[in-house]
Amino acid sequence: MIQGCTSWAGKSLLTTALCRWYARQGLTVAPFKAQNMSNNARVVDGGEIGVAQWLQARAAGVEPEVRMNPVLLKPESGTSQVVRLGRVDAELSRRPWRDRSEALWPTVENALAELLDEYDVVVIEGAGSPAEINLAANDIVNMRVAERADAPVLLAVDIDRGGAFAHLYGTWALLPPQHQRRIRGFVLNRFRGDASLLPPGPEQLERLTGVPTVGVVPMIRHDLPDEDGAALRAPVRGGLPPVAIVRYPAASNLDEFALVEQVADVRWATQPWHLDGASTVILPGSKHVASDLAWLRASGLDAAVVAAARAGVRVLGVCGGLQLLGRRLEDPYGVDGSGDGLGLLPLTTTFARDKLVQRGSLTLPALDPPWAALSGLPVSGYEIRQGRTVDASGTDVVLAVDGNVAGWYPHGWFEDEAVLQALFGARPTRTLDATFERLADVVEAHVDTGVLRSLAGLS
């Protein structure tokens, strides 16, 4: 199990790397995270899971499935939607957070037990920190999972933030003795300094805790999406088409734009001036369309998007973005909110009680410029939405185009190299599989592989 001193300690990346490394040893490997909180999800058989576990399964070379992330919390305004084994649990979603954990534990325990029976190795990712003493009684993600799996723990810290040794010692010291004994090694993650300056820190820390530092992992440049999907990237590169992706507060599934960053100069737009000079403006998915619409209006981005469209800039909406581009949102069941959209597409969306979660494929029809290069392309994707959209004739819409404004419901098309070529004139040069291999190479070079083998019972 990989746990962290804090959020953003690099647990997901290390878990992904270990999934590939153990798979390279000839083992069958499954990832597991008991409870994830993210509005970035993927559709698998049985429903939706967090994108991190989807990527980890791909790294392990196995089909992603709902047991790998049995509980997914999708943040909403003031609360979170509970997705249990891929499907929304409306009753639990209405409960306060502290009342949910015991009801969810049997689901977590059963999924973990089944994976442990079926795979040689299960690489488990924790959440936040195991030493959140205010939350310990309700924690079903960290040490309770480690105890159930009888899993040894590697504790990771983001050394780039500073205070790494204090974080490691403080986390260890706040744990009860039985949980301290589970921690078999410390990992200094995201290191980019002079390694000769580390001593005597690791040695003193081991004297205090009895836990050795088993890895010093460098800062890894990679092409995987971060968990929120929109982390700051390297400085802008010249010569690439400028693309503005609007980052509203409830933006979802931003991970699907990771490959776009290889073929375009991507900027995450939170102010009207961020759209200046963009050749394409994208409105991504939204977990709460009505609140994001209100945010667009409060920030002035609504007028900026409309102005860009009227100036001939390509404007594209995906899922919730498509709904925002329409004329009207109707909410007869109190699911999201009613109101007038941006009015750039002749569409009306009516929110439904039940969420649609499905995968699908289609062949794009003949399209006029500036979308003509997409004509005839076969595309596959996934839908996670709570609404039905119709055009002026009352016909259900999956794809809508009106001049230089377009929208589509499926996520995932931006991960299709042919779509990227059609929209931006280039294909990504670095593949997902190559990234997994590189991550495993880095772990092999910078973490004690004898320890890794021993922790998995291989030596």
Active site residues: 319, 411
Residue 39 structure tokens: 């509005």
Q: Which two tokens stand for residue 220?
A: 């890894």
Q: Count Cβ atoms within 10 A of the Cβ of residue 206 and give its class: 0-12 exposed, 13-18 middle, 19 or more buried.
A: middle
What are the CA-CA distances from residue 15 to residues 74, 217, 323 (Å)? 21, 13, 36
As a whole number of angstroms, the distance between CA 69 and CA 393 comes to 41
Count of C-beta atoms within a 10 Å radius of residue 291: 17
> Could you give the strand order of the β-sheet that contains 71-76, starting from the edge strand earlier in sequence?
35-37, 71-76, 79-84, 87-88
Number of Cβ within a 10 Å radius of residue 343: 14
Q: At 409, is the secondary structure helix, strand, or coil?
A: coil
Count of CB atoms situated within 10 Å of the CB of 193: 13
Q: What is the DSSP string of 293-336?
A: HHHHHHHTHHHHHHHHHHTT-EEEEETHHHHHHSSEEE-TTSSS
What gap in Å lies between CA 183 and CA 146, rounded to an integer? 10
Q: What gap in Å lies between CA 120 and CA 86, rounded to an integer?
A: 24
Angle at 11 between CA 93 and CA 117, to 5 degrees: 75
Q: 7: which residues sit within 8 A by CB, 6+ positions away?
A: 127, 128, 129
For residue 360, the cross-strand partners are 381
Q: If you write DSSP's letter for every residue of 361-388 in order, what string do you get?
A: EEE-----TTSGGGTT-EEEEEEEES-E
| 3-class SS of residue 145 | helix
How many Å apart are CA 188 and CA 175, to the nearest integer? 19
Beta-strand relationship, 41-44 and 2-4: unpaired
DSSP labels, 238-301: TTS-EEEEE--TTEE-GGGGTTHHHHSEEEEE-SGGGGTT-SEEEE-EESSHHHHHHHHHHHTH
